[in-house]
């Protein structure tokens, strides 16, 4: 404590003041007055020294807390706190400790998610790459023209699958990073449905499936036409995949004072009850998932809709089809305005 230059200077000033006050009392008042002044000054100096020592002790405790926080120990008890300047400092350190603890926990979760994502991506890419390597080796040998065309077609299919996977992952990573700027425009519901349906008309025609729409053609929501169509397209693809030939997919939509709802219902085989809580997780493949399913389409749809202050729910029973309900709430409009 006495190594502090400012404290030594402060004690020197107090000692000089005490000495001068004692001399003044001795020369102009009396010896008793001089003794009284001297004792009083010494008591005050001692009180000041003790107060300073106590502050140093409390600051040392806070320094110890900070060192432990720097080492990753976020246990910081403020139950013994009291009013005062050091109390304010302690409260602020406690707030920073909580923030660092939350950030540390978030970083651990992000690291775990990143590790899982890399593992999933590696798994998803390994199968088509291995398949293409085998077919490439076979193409270099002596095979019939029919087999050559078959292997070439399969390689092209696997390349398209990898391209779609990489593209989808890039879109998801952009959404997660917050680098995607979603437009806040007035979009007619029928327009976004038609845009999404354009990409699946041929697959539906091949499976002889029909698409029906019902709702208020004047219904609108506030969001991004392109990205919302992307989300609905992924839901449509899921419905087409799990609906048998000759099946039907229904769109129904309406707008009220609270939200705009878009429902997508198929007549497929439905989703098992145990899979329902997990279908929006990335790379999750349910019991009825196809062999070529990656498990990323519904996750992307969920991310896109959630990023636009929307909500998506699913209702399904095995053998009775599945219904996806998308809601865009009107409070999102107020925040835009």
pLDDT tens for 67-109 read 777 776 666 655 555 556 666 677 777 777 777 777 777 777 7
Task: Compute the Cα dihedral for 216, 218, 219, 223 and give only its sign.
Answer: positive
Is the CATH number 1.10.1740 carried by domain 119-177? no
User: Quick one: average pLDDT of 25-54?
Assistant: 84
Q: Which residue has the higher pLDDT, 212 or 290?
A: 212
pLDDT one-digit tens code per residue, 212-221: 999 988 999 9
User: Quick one: average pLDDT of 40-61?
Assistant: 81
Average pLDDT of every residue of the chain: 81
Question: What are the strands, taking DSSP E only, across 170-258?
Answer: 185-188, 210-215, 220-223, 248-255
Q: What is the pTM of this model?
A: 0.61
pLDDT one-digit tens code per residue, 114-142: 676 677 667 667 777 887 888 888 888 77
- Range with the poorest average pLDDT among 172-176, 307-311, 317-321, 332-336: 332-336
Question: Which one, of 256, 251, 250, lies nearest residue 219 by Cα?
Answer: 256
Topology annotation, domain 185-336:
Heat Shock Protein 90 (3.30.565)
Domain assignments of the chain as residue spans, ordered by start: 5-101, 119-177, 185-336
Which helix (DSSP H) or strand (DSSP E) does residue 337 occupy? none
- Strands 248-255 and 210-215, sheet pairing: parallel
Question: What are the strands, taking DSSP E only, across 59-111?
Answer: none
């Amino acid at each position: 404590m006495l190594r502090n230059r400012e404290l030594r200077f402060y004690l020197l000033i107090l000692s000089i003041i005490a000495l001068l006050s004692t001399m003044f009392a001795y020369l102009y008042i009396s010896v008793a007055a001089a003794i009284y002044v001297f004792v009083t000054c010494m008591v005050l100096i001692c009180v000041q020294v003790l107060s300073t020592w106590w502050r140093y002790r409390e600051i040392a405790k806070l320094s110890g807390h900070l060192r432990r926080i720097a080492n990753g120990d976020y246990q910081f008890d403020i139950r013994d706190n009291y009013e005062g300047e050091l109390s304010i400092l302690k409260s602020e350190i406690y707030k920073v400790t909580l923030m660092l603890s939350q950030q540390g926990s978030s970083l651990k979760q992000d690291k775990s998610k990143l590790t899982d994502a890399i593992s999933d991506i590696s798994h998803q890419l390994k199968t088509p790459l291995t398949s293409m390597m085998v077919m490439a080796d076979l193409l270099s040998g002596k095979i019939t023209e029919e087999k050559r065309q078959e292997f070439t077609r399969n390689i092209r299919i696997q390349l398209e699958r990898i391209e779609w996977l990489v593209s989808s992952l890039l879109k998801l990573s952009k959404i997660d990073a917050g680098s995607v700027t979603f437009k806040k425009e007035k979009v007619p519901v029928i327009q976004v449905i038609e845009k999404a349906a354009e990409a699946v008309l041929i697959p539906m025609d091949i499976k002889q499936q029909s698409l029906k729409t019902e709702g208020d053609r004047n219904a609108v929501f506030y969001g991004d036409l392109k990205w919302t169509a992307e989300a609905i397209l992924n839901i449509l693809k899921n419905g087409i995949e799990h609906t048998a030939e000759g099946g039907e997919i229904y769109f129904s939509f309406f707008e009220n004072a609270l939200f705009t709802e878009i429902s997508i219902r198929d007549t497929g085989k439905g989703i098992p009850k145990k899979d329902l809580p997990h279908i929006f997780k990335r790379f999750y493949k349910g019991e009825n998932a196809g062999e070529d399913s990656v498990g990323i389409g519904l996750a992307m749809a969920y991310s896109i809709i959630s990023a636009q202050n929307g909500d998506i729910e699913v209702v399904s029973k095995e053998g009775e089809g599945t219904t996806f309900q998308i809601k865009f709430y009107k409070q999102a409009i107020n925040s835009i305005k």
